[in-house]
Amino acid sequence: MAIAASLAACNSADNATDVADVDKNVYLCNTSTMTQSDDLRIYQIMVESFVNGDDSIGHGTGYGTSHHKGDLQGIIDSLDYIESLGMNAIWLTPIFDSMPIEGQDHWADRLDATGYFTSNYFAIDPRFGTMEQAKELVEKAHEKGLYVFFDGVFGHHKGNVVPSPEGRLPVGENNPVSYPESLEFYQEVATYWIKELKIDGWRLDQAYQVPTDAWASIRASVDEASKSVTYVNSEGETVNPLGYMVAEIWNNENYINETGYGKEGEPALCSAFDFPVRYRLVETFAVNENSIGSKGGKWLDEGMNLHSLYPSHAKPNLMLGNHDLVRFGDLIQRGNIASPDEPEYWSRHKAALSFLAAYSGPITLYYGEEIGDEVEGFSQKVWSDCAIQGLCDDHVARSSAKIEGLTGTINSNQWNLKQYVSELMTIRAAHPALSRGERTNIIANDSVYVDHKQTDEEALLYMVSTTTNPESISISAEDIASEGQLVDLLSGKAYEMVGGEYQINLSPFEAKFLKIAKPSAKGLTKAVAVASTSLMGEGFMAQCDNPVVESAGPIEKTLYVVGDFVDAGWKHKPNRAYNYVGDNTYQAVVEEKAGAFRMQYASADWKPQFTADGLELTPGKVATLKYGGYGKDTAVTLPEAGKYVWSLKFSDSGNPEQLMVSKCP
């Protein structure tokens, strides 16, 4: 079926009326699915690393530090535990059959265990279990009120792919495959498991490998299949599978738009993981994988505000970690902040998890985060033989699951955090203003973050400390549209208004969820004032029309602005090359999109490379330039699209001195 025909076939009247005068070949996001997805509290399971429920099967090898014996029975045995956390969905990494190729080496065996290079998309890997166990897992999860999402790898495969029941195969190279030639095969995959097991949707691996028009067709097929079957949920209601799809696109907002969401009014995918805010979250409460941290509430608010770059149909899904990222506990230790025997280790976990609970939209918790799990003895990067040891950054989090009462016991700190997570998820489930409410930031500075969240039914405040110091916060009743008490949803404590103000104390990294008992009928009358700053600097480095000088400057090689720009993707592009303009200064004038970017300033062979001191740059402000290196990227947010001049200044001997990015008039 051609892509346009597929969209037209699936584009119901209800779907089409969401946008006036919609192109009939455009398949819009399902409003009901997207509304329900706001409330998703997903528990991610790396199957081979999770729980060994059947000693007679299992891969026995893999990447990471686990037993590598995880299976479907282990997940079935863990459903009560997952339900007790207050989660309402599970996502399983791929469980389809990855058949060994004769003579393959141990690296291929390890890759098979991940499931991300499948051979038979229509069969369960016997080392994980059987089709009957997969069906039992889905049915028991549904009985407990848990949606079930499978992991769809629709852009690459192992090479020895088995034909589908309809005799189809993917077309082209193994990695990536060709579209639209492979479309019908992956539509069959996506719909088969919904019809066969009644799963509720898909997590989409490396979604950027699939063209956006193909995603729209696959999404339409998933919606159609979901409407064709039903199951009885935990409330005794007969329902259709949810049909939720969430993309993994590990990049910035602009790239996620380009390869995932598509354009306003022409949606490709409707949800994607919020990698940009995830990095801001760990940089605030720990460090990122490159040891960059010490951020605050302003950093979090800026990231949330960048959601404005997404089209209106976009539904970001926030996570703290996953199977490809370093565990949050290890990042705290990587930053030399705290160890598991110190209270700060646990308070930072609580702060980060509270932000997850207060997030607008779906959220995902990686197994083990609820107990502050870490890989004992690991925090710093391992450069030599890390894959053999299971200690590479991109798979170290694949550790054996520690499920209370099933795989062992947990200590008092772990138990306390687990209970806190259960309380957070219970509050989130009971107060949809957290997941669905309109967000207005009230305070965002170096030490505190406060949001107002409101629906027609209720108004709440979420606040969290981002510092090691106690904080006392004064909040105007008028600013939060409150005419009565604020009631702490965790402790039950009530805060009274005194002289039109509320005084609230926060311990280091403490979070509070406060219900506004009597919201003002007039509602919020204004957003909190944000200081206006110019994006245009002053002086020679801010001038966009400096002529190129023929004489040689202090740097012999041509330098480039190299970063995660959509038009560059960390490649040295001619339009991002610096020209010498005299006064030991080099400039590149580039048309930029609005967004948050990370970059360095480097020659084609990365020798030399430079970055900003402090690894952060503010438009219109001069910063100190220093030598760069792997992972030492400069972060900058350009709030407006337009033409910008990137400037670097050196000493006579070629030592780095200053840099600036400034918007051109």
Amino acid at 574: P
Over range 620-645, report the average pLDDT. 94
Query: What is the percentage of the chain residues whose pLDDT exceeds 90?
Result: 91
Q: What are the backbone dihedrals phi and psi of residue 419, each rounded to the nearest 5 degrees, phi first?
A: -65, -40
Closest CA to 38 of 458, 437, 446, 393: 437
Assigned token pair, 131: 């089709």
According to the model, what pLDDT value does residue 616 have?
Answer: 92
For 544, the 3-state DSSP assignment is coil
Least confident of 178-187, 325-334, 516-525: 516-525
Adjacent-strand bridge partners of 428 = none
pLDDT tier at 526, thresholds 50, 70, 90:
low
CB 61 within 8 A of CB 14: no
According to the model, what pLDDT value does residue 533 have?
Answer: 65
According to the model, what pLDDT value does residue 521 have?
Answer: 86
pLDDT tier at 9, thresholds 50, 70, 90:
very low
According to the model, what pLDDT value does residue 243 have?
Answer: 98
CATH dotted code for 540-663: 2.60.40
pLDDT tier at 527, thresholds 50, 70, 90:
low
HSE, side-chain direction, 13 A CA sphere, residue 273: 24
Question: Across all residues in the chain, what is the average pLDDT?
Answer: 94
Task: Decide if pLDDT at 266 tops 80.
Answer: yes
pLDDT tier at 329, thresholds 50, 70, 90:
very high
Over range 40-64, report the average pLDDT. 97
All residues at 6 or more sequence positions from 344 whose CB lies less than 8 Å from its CB, including other chains: 337, 338, 468, 508, 509
Higher pLDDT, 631 or 311: 311
Task: Decide if pLDDT at 22 tops 60.
Answer: no
pLDDT tier at 523, thresholds 50, 70, 90:
confident
Assigned token pair, 118: 């499948």
Sign of CA dihedral 127, 128, 131, 132: positive
Q: What span, in angstroms and rounded, lies between the C-alpha atoms of 299 and 196?
A: 45
pLDDT tier at 587, thresholds 50, 70, 90:
very high
Kindly report the pTM of this predicted structure. 0.94
The string of pLDDT tens digits covering residues 407-429 is 989 999 999 999 999 999 999 99
Is the CATH code 3.20.20.80 the one for domain 39-430?
yes
Task: Decide if pLDDT at 223 tops 70.
Answer: yes
Closest CA to 537 of 649, 613, 651, 647: 647
The string of pLDDT tens digits covering residues 224-257 is 999 999 999 999 999 999 999 999 999 999 999 9
Over range 106-123, report the average pLDDT. 96
pLDDT tier at 18, thresholds 50, 70, 90:
very low
All residues at 6 or more sequence positions from 510 whose CB lies less than 8 Å from its CB, including other chains: 347, 350, 351, 464, 465
According to the model, what pLDDT value does residue 439 have?
Answer: 96
Domains 39-430 and 436-516 share a fold: no
> Biggest alpha carbon distance in the chain?
79
Angle separating helix axes 275-285 and 297-305, nearest 10 degrees: 180
Over range 122-134, report the average pLDDT. 98
According to the model, what pLDDT value does residue 552 have?
Answer: 84
Higher pLDDT, 569 or 139: 139
Over range 548-559, report the average pLDDT. 92
According to the model, what pLDDT value does residue 24 have?
Answer: 55
Query: What is the percentage of the chain residues whose pLDDT exceeds 70?
Result: 95
Task: Decide if pLDDT at 222 tops 70.
Answer: yes
Cα 617 to chain centroid distance, Å, stands at 23
According to the model, what pLDDT value does residue 598 have?
Answer: 95
Task: Decide if pLDDT at 401 tops 80.
Answer: yes
DSSP alpha helix (H) spans, 251-368: 253-256, 275-285, 297-305, 328-334, 343-358
The string of pLDDT tens digits covering residues 388-400 is 999 999 999 999 9
According to the model, what pLDDT value does residue 647 have?
Answer: 97
Per-domain boundaries in the chain:
39-430, 436-516, 540-663
CATH dotted code for 436-516: 2.60.40.1180
According to the model, what pLDDT value does residue 330 have?
Answer: 98
Closest CA to 510 of 285, 283, 281: 285
Pairing mode, strands 616-617 and 634-638: parallel
For 344, the 3-state DSSP assignment is helix
According to the model, what pLDDT value does residue 19 have?
Answer: 35
According to the model, what pLDDT value does residue 21 have?
Answer: 40
The string of pLDDT tens digits covering residues 346-355 is 999 999 999 9
Closest CA to 628 of 652, 643, 648, 645: 648
